[in-house]
Amino acid sequence: MKAETEDYHLTERELAVIQLTAAGFSAKEAADQLQIAPRTVERHLDNSRMKLRARNRVHLVFKCAEQGFLRASNS
């Protein structure tokens, strides 16, 4: 997955935030899971949206899924 994401310069943390967002976590829940501030989660999502030129979170998750950046959920 790392080689493909390098084209977009997504960080491991941005990918982790996107993965949790795709799984339905709120910013606060993702922040708790990653032990960071909710505002940091929002910043990672904003940066990721800019890098992938996504219009919103749904579009970001769709583009990441389309590119194969997301792992299958265990739920």
Q: Which CATH number fits domain 2-67: 3.40.50.620, 2.60.120.20, 1.10.569.10, 1.10.10.10?
A: 1.10.10.10
Q: pLDDT tens digits, residue range 17-71?
A: 999 999 999 999 999 999 999 999 999 999 999 999 999 999 999 999 999 998 8
> At which residue do the structure tokens 């792992």 appear?
71
Q: pTM of the full predicted structure?
A: 0.85
In the chain, domain spans: 2-67
How far apart are the C-alpha atoms of 26 and 6, rounded to whole Å?
Answer: 26
Checking if the pLDDT of 4 tops 70, the result is no
Using only C-alpha atoms, what is the Rg of the chain?
11
What average pLDDT does the chain have?
90
Distance from the first to the final alpha carbon of the chain? 21
